[in-house]
Structure 1
Amino acid sequence: MRIGCPKEIKNHEYRVGLTPESARELAVNGHEVWIESGAGLGIGATDEEYRAARATIVDGPDPIFADCEMVVKVKEPQAVERAKLREGQLLYTYLHLAPDPEQTADLVKSGVTAIAYETVTGPDGLLPLLKPMSQVAGRMSIQAGAAALQKEHGGRGVLLGGVPGVMPGKVVVIGGGVVGFNAAQMAVGLGGQVSILDRNPEVLDKVGTFFENRASTRFSNRSNLHEAVAEADLVIGAVLIPGAAAPKLITREMLSDMKPGAVLVDVAIDQGGCFETSKATTHADPTYIVDNIVHYCVANMPGAVARTSTYALNNVTLPHALRMARDGWKEAMRRDPHLAEGLNIHAGGVTYQAVAEELGYDHVPVSSVIG
C-alpha cells in the first residue's frame, strides 16, 4: 500500500502523523511511504531522517492526496485539504465530527473512508488512541491555566501552589476520566487545592482512593457544580461523550457568581466545549474574556509539545495502520471490532451513530459496510 503523511497546516500544529521510526516500520513491511517535505520539522525530524527510514520525500501535499491510498494525519483535515480527498481513499486521523458540520459535509461529499482516532475503542471499553493526547492535554491544562491566572493575562493574580502563609489556588476539575485525572495530578503536584467532580460513583471511588486527602471528590450535580465553580480560581472542563458533542455544563449565568479573573480551561473544545461561553482558540491567541472570566479554549493543546505528543500518538496509532495496510481496512475491521468503532465516514455515508444523530444524517451501520 502507498501511505502518505502531509505536513499539518492547522494554526501552530507541529505534530506529524508518522515519525521516522513509524515510516521505517511501514517500509520494512513492504509498504511505500511518502512524506511531505518538512512535515517532521516540528518534532525535530528532518527529511534526511525520513529518507534514511526508506520513505520518499515529496514536495507539497498534492502528490499525497492525489496518489496515496492511505493518508495519515494528526488533526482533522482543513478545508483546503478536504477539497483534495477522493473517493476510495483512506483517511486516518483525529476528526471530532459531531461539533463540525462543515467538515462532516465535506468528507461525506468526497466519498473518502475516514477513520477517527478518537472513537477507536479498546478491550476495556476505553479509547486507546485518544488516551495519550488526553494525558498530555490534562497535564497541559494546569500549565495553561496557571499562566492564564497571572495578572498580565487577565487572571486573578493567584499562584496555584500559594506560599507559606498564603492559601493555594482552588482548582476544580470537571470529569474524572483520563484528562481530569492527569489534570488533578498536575494540580496536586503544584500544591493547588483540588476538587474533582464526576457523575460516576466508580470514577469518584477510583480517584478518591488514588489522591486520598490530597484532593477532594464531589458528585457532579447542578448544585454541587455551581457551588464548586463559584469558589474556584481555575476550572478544568474535562468531560467526554465518545464521538458526540460535549454537554454544556457551565452556563453563562454561572459566570456571574465566579470570582473576577478566574480561569476556565475547556479541554473538551474539540467536541464543541463544555462551557456555554466556549469558542475554539489557537496557540497564537489562546485566551479571551467573557464577563470578567478568562477562557482558554485551544483546540489542539498537545500540538504545543509536539515531540512528546507525536511519539506518544504513534505508539498507539501505528499498529492499526500496519494491520490496515497489510490486510486492507475492511478485513482489519472484521478481525478487530474495536478498530471498526473508528469508522466515521464511508463512501458518502455517516457510520458513527453519535455523529449521525448529532448532525441529522441517516446512520449507516458499520456492519453493513464491512460485511
Structure 2
Amino acid sequence: MIRAQAVIDRAALAHNLRRVRDLAPDSRVYAAVKADGYGHGAVTVAQALREADGFAVSSLDEALQLRWAGIDKPVAMLSQQLDVTVCDQAAENRLEIVVFHDSQLEVLASYIGPPLTVWITLDSGMHRLGFASERAGEIERRVAALERVEVAGWLTHLACADEPSRPDTRAQLDDFAGATSGRAGLRSIANSAGVLAWPEAHADVVRPGIMLYGSSPMLDRDAARCGLEPAMHLTAPLIARNRIAAGETIGYGATWRTPQDMDLGVIGIGYGDGYPRHAPSGTPVLLNGVRVPLVGRVSMDMITVDLRDAPDARVGDRATLWGGGLDVDEVARHAGTIAYELFCRLTPRVRFEVV
C-alpha cells in the first residue's frame, strides 16, 4: 500500500501554459520552475512546458539541473550572486544572468570569459532586489561599457498585483515605464497575478509561476475562475476507522472532543510528509468524493478526520489532501499559509508519479 503520493499531471501543466498564452498572446513566456518546479519536479515541469519560450530559476544549481536534463531553452537566474565560477558556468551553459546589485557589476567588470547575456532588474517599488529606478541611465552606461556582456532587457517585480484595487501596481508600472523609456532591450514585468489582472504589465516577456501549477495568485478568484487546472493530486490512504464514544478527546493536546458517538478515520499522512502541521480542525479532506473535516492536531505520520458524512469509507480508500476536486488554495487558507508553501514543503517520504 502506497502511503502519501503526489501525482503530477503534465496535461494540466500544458493547459495552464496555454492559458497564459491566451491571456498574453503577444508576450514571450519564461515559466518559473524555481524551488524544484514549486515542488512538482523542475525537470518534469520543464519537459511538460516545452512550448515555453524560456524558464526562470533562482540559482545556478537550479539552472544546471535543467541543462543536464537536456532542456535547451533560455534559462534566467533570478537571484544568483556572481563570482568568476558562476560567470564561467553561465557562459558555458548559455544561462542568462539577472543583475540586481552593484557587487554583481563589479564581478562582471573583471570577467574575461565568453560573452554573457544579462537582464537588469529595477526596483520599481517592491524594495527587495533591483537598482533604484533613478539609476537606470547610470546602470545602462556601466553595463554598456562591459565588452563581454550583452543586455537582453529590463526586469521588475510586482508586489501587489494580486489585489487589483490597490494603487501600488499602477505606481510600479508608471515608475518602470519612465525609467526604461527609450532604452534598448526587452521588458519583463508580469508574474502570475500580473498575467491575470494587469494586461498592461504583459510587456515583452511574462514570468508566470504559481498559475502554471493550477493555483490562483488572486485574492478575489479561485483557480477554476482563472481557468486553471491543478497539476498536483496529493493522496494518502485511510489506515483505520474507529468508533469513538461521545465526549472523548482526540489527538495530541486533546484539542477536539467528539460531540456524539461517531466514527473517526485515520489517514496516513502528516507533517513528516509535508502536510501543514498547523492545519486546524475543519480543514477539508476529500474521501470518495465526500468532504470530511480534519479533527484534532496533525501528527507526524497521520491526521484524523470526522467520518459522519462518509459512512461507506473503508480502510484502504485513498483520501485527497489537495487537487482532484479539492482546491489547494482552500486548504492553504485553512492552514494560514499559501499554496506555494504547501507544494514546496512536501518531503521525500511522498512518492511522486508523473502522468
TM-score category by the smaller chain?
A: 0.3 to 0.5
Tell me which protein shows more helix as a share of its residues: 1
Tell me which protein shows more strand as a share of its residues: 2
Larger Rg: 2
User: Normalised by the size of structure 2, how large is the TM-score?
Assistant: 0.33
